[in-house]
Amino acid sequence: MPHASISNPPHALPEDSLGYAILTAAELIAEVVAGTTLTESLGALWAARPRTPPGVRGAILDLTYSSLRDYGRQDFILGRLLQKPLPEPVQSILRVALHRLDSHSDTAHTVVNQAVDAAATCLGGKFKGVANGVLRNALRQMEDLNKAADADMVAEYRHPPWWIRRLKTQYPAQWRNILAAGNTHPPMALRINVLRSDRDEVLANFADAGVPLHQLANGALLLERPVPVSRLPGFAEGCISVQDAGAQFAAHHLDVEDGQRVLDACAAPGGKTAHILELADVDLTALDADPGRTRRIEENLQRLGLAATIKTSDCRNLDAWWDGRFFERILADVPCSASGVVRRNPDIKWLRRGGDIARFAAQQAEIVDALWQVLAPGGKMLYATCSVFAEENSEQMAGFAARHPDCRRLPLDGQLDCQYLPCSEHDGFFYALLEKVA
């Protein structure tokens, strides 16, 4: 559960101050260090402080996400400046402050003062002087500290050792680029709802609104820089949706046609569900095991003017949800490590362990084996993850094909294992298309 500090009333710092944002970001990061997901902690924070102004929310989120993307580097530097870690959230205040000093070196004096003010509100203020001394020492030694950090694997690449080693083994020519992409701010891409608008109209509306973007090869629209959803013309009217360009391959790869019976087996929050419905007039069942996330499917479809049969159930439990009629198309967007979208979920780098990958792979195998039973002969199932690890992707598909002699692998973009690695245009995704031999 989230730490008590998250649900407490705001502290005595001015809400619009950098110190307030540093302190709140540090409290969130302390929750992640303790094992709580950032999604859960943010939910508790906004529930406790519902009137937080949008600008203050933005500052908190920017500091939190950016500091978590710097995983490993701040702790390496603090290890050179402290004999032992300080109690939370003071340790995380220093993490956030070091990130801010690195990204805003021209405001170093302000950053130090505001971070010290934040530390003064914690644990009776007894670590205020320590925080001040550590940050001023960091400024004096920053060149040497950065040089030492650049020579350390975890501090340089900002990922856990097991993660780095896995990528080096599986992607000997690309691992550095994958790690670097995981430390960047994610791109923001849009999908046009072709049932309510068209490309020329959307492009004209964005030009009039002064929001620059360009179209990618798969039809996704990539913004030059992320903007709040409230600034997206046509969003409230259901003309567009926010969806990563890599995720937009899924509905196209599924090869849907009018009149087909389609299953989206792990559908929440509904982006791929909606995209399928925008491309073809199909009888679609959207399934998810989490009731809260199932409601997100309903909300997204309602905004877009789309309809599907929505059920809450574990897709592996066929008796609980399947009516006995086969599906011509199945999207199996299975739970995974999310290693391909880590820049959107930087807490994953803190929370995942190397042994988790085998657990995900076992769950994925159970899901696709169950779903294969409800696929019609001659039908197609698209296996999808937002992972870059082979155990969840190519190795998973090789094992599935070996277990199911009635499976035929179909090429996507000229390859059986279609791995999109994270880059400036999209996140990391894996797709494999399987046909059930009649």
**Tens digits of per-residue pLDDT, 281-307?**
999 999 999 998 999 999 999 999 999
Question: Which of 10-24, 65-79, 190-204, 234-248 shows the lowest mean pLDDT across its residues?
Answer: 10-24
pLDDT in tens, 291-350: 989 999 999 999 999 999 999 999 999 999 999 999 999 999 999 999 999 999 999 999
Looking at residue 8, what is its pLDDT?
Answer: 56
Q: Is pLDDT of 1 > 50?
A: no
User: Would you give the DSSP letter of residue 122?
Assistant: S
CA distance 177 to 340: 12
Going from N- to C-terminal start, the domains of the chain cover 4-156, 189-242, 249-436
Mean pLDDT of the chain: 95
* Backbone torsions φ then ψ of 198, nearest 5 degrees: -140, 170
* Backbone torsions φ then ψ of 208, nearest 5 degrees: -65, -35
Looking at residue 312, what is its pLDDT?
Answer: 97
Q: Is pLDDT of 424 > 50?
A: yes
CATH topology of domain 249-436: Rossmann fold (3.40.50)
* Backbone torsions φ then ψ of 211, nearest 5 degrees: -110, 100
Could you give the percent of the chain with pLDDT greater than 70? 97
What is the average per-residue pLDDT within 176-200?
97
**Catalytic choice (336, 386, 407, 418):** 386
DSSP E strand stretches across 49-193: 189-192
pLDDT in tens, 375-418: 999 999 999 999 999 999 999 999 999 999 999 999 998 999 99
* Backbone torsions φ then ψ of 274, nearest 5 degrees: -60, -40
* Backbone torsions φ then ψ of 233, nearest 5 degrees: -65, 130
Q: Any catalytic annotation for residue 386?
A: yes
Looking at residue 4, what is its pLDDT?
Answer: 46
Work out the angle between the directed axes of helices 73-81 and 128-150 (0-180°, nearest 10): 120
The structure tokens 């090789």 sit at 398
Looking at residue 12, what is its pLDDT?
Answer: 81
Query: Which run of H or E residues covers position 378?
Result: strand 375-385
Q: Is pLDDT of 2 > 60?
A: no
The CATH code for residues 4-156 is 1.10.940.10
Q: Are 333 and 265 in contact (CB under 8 A)?
A: yes
Cα distances from 29 to residues 48, 88, 140, 429, in angstroms, run 17, 9, 26, 27
Q: Is pLDDT of 88 > 70?
A: yes
Q: Would you tell me which CATH number, out of the four given (3.30.70.260, 2.60.40.10, 3.30.70.1170, 3.90.550.10), belongs to the domain 189-242? A: 3.30.70.1170
Spatial CA neighbour of 32 closest among 52, 12, 6, 8: 6
